[in-house]
Homo-oligomer: A and B are copies of this chain.
Amino acid sequence: MLRPLLAGMLALPGGARVNVVPRADLMTMNIDERLGFILGRRSIRAYTPQAVSDEAVQKLLEAAMAAPSAAATDPWRFVVVKNREMLSRIADALPYGKMVGSAALGIVVCGDLEAAHDKQLSYLLQDCSAAIENLLLCAHVLGLGACWLGVHPREQRVKALHEILRLQISVIPMACIAIGYPAETKDPRTRFNPDYVRFEK
């Protein structure tokens, strides 16, 4: 069945317009096919030297900022890094993030504590994490590989990223997402575990 309310053109700030998904197209796919974009997203840590276009980066940011945030405060802030020297410095600051040094780009996802709902760190972390998951899924859909590299709550990493990116005092670097065209493939999976589910209580 056509669901015209969900199809059509989407107006973006600045007057740009993009097509949004006509659900009728998706209706020809079964549920598991339609959920493949979630199960197929994996942490990709090896990248080809191929550059990532500015248009793709724009899509990643649009997807990230389509996440919900507490009281719609949108405390997320993004620093897009393509400069190789900067990427090397970030890689040096992240013990398990060496691969960002060979990625096409890194997007450092930060949260502005002044902008977060009630200036609460918990909301900042929740909102930024939802945005990151959207960004990772978008990367997968675009055929890119990406990996979430933890920064917060490691004080040394937070301090290092703060200095490298010259962030404002209220802006907390939460994670760095390494992004590039994948040089490794991984099978889709869920880590569904029935032990982690209770019914009613």
Contacts and interface: CB of A to CB of B under 8 A. Distances in A.
A166 B199 CA distance: 12
Which of A29, A67, A76, A192 neighbours the largest number of chain B CB atoms within 10 Å of its CB?
Answer: A192
B153 A10 contact: no
Contacts of A98: none
B21 A25 contact: no
Contacts of A138: 35, 38
A3 to B, nearest CB: 8
Interface in A134-189: 134, 136-138, 141-142, 148, 150, 152-153, 164-166, 174-175, 185, 187-189
Contacts of A14: 194
Contact of A13 (B22, B40, B192): B192
B41 A20 contact: no
A76 B201 CA distance: 15
Contact of A35 (B59, B120, B132, B187): B59
Interface of A: 5-6, 10, 12-14, 18-23, 25-26, 29-41, 43, 59, 61-63, 65-68, 70, 72, 74, 76-83, 86, 120-123, 125-130, 132-134, 136-138, 141-142, 148, 150, 152-153, 164-166, 174-175, 185, 187-194, 196-201
